[in-house]
Amino acid sequence: MLRILLIEDQRDIAANIWDYLEFRGFVMDHAADGANGLRMALGGSYDVIVLDLGLPKLDGIDLCRALRAAGRDTPVLMLTARDTLEDKLIGFAEGADDYVVKPFAMKELEARIRALFRRGRLQHGDLLRVGDLVLDPVKLSVERAGQPISLTRAGFVLLEALMQRAPHLVRHGDLAHALWGGDGGDIATLHTHLSVLRAAIDRPFETHLLHTVHGFGYRIADNAVES
Please report whether residue 33 would count as binding Ca ion according to CB under 5 A.
Answer: no
CB of 21 to Ca ion, least distance (A): 18
Select from 57, 222, 216 the least CA-distant residue to 132.
Answer: 222
- Rounded distance between C-alpha atoms, residue 94 and residue 214, angstroms: 53
Which residue number, 85 or 199, has a Cβ lying nearer to Ca ion?
A: 85
Please report whether residue 9 would count as binding Ca ion according to CB under 5 A.
Answer: yes
- Phi, psi (rounded to 5 degrees) for 65: -60, -45
Which residue number, 58 or 170, has a Cβ lying nearer to Ca ion?
A: 58
Give the number of residues in contact with Ca ion, rule: CB under 5 A: 3
Which one of the spans 46-54, 97-105, 154-162, 171-179 is the region binding Ca ion (CB under 5 A)? 46-54
CB of 52 to Ca ion, least distance (A): 4
Task: Count CA atoms within 13 Å of residue 221 on its CB side.
Answer: 16
Which one of the spans 3-11, 28-36, 82-90, 133-141 is the region binding Ca ion (CB under 5 A)? 3-11
Contact yes or no for 53/61 (Cβ under 8 A)? yes
- Rounded distance between C-alpha atoms, residue 194 and residue 154, angstroms: 9
Site for Ca ion in 49-108 (CB under 5 A): 52, 54
CB of 33 to Ca ion, least distance (A): 10
By beta carbon distance, the residue nearest Ca ion is 54
DSSP-H helix ranges across 70-223: 85-93, 106-124, 153-165, 172-180, 187-201
- In angstroms, how far apart are the furthest CA atoms of the chain? 62
Which residue number, 54 or 131, has a Cβ lying nearer to Ca ion?
A: 54
Q: Which residues bind Ca ion (CB under 5 A)?
A: 9, 52, 54
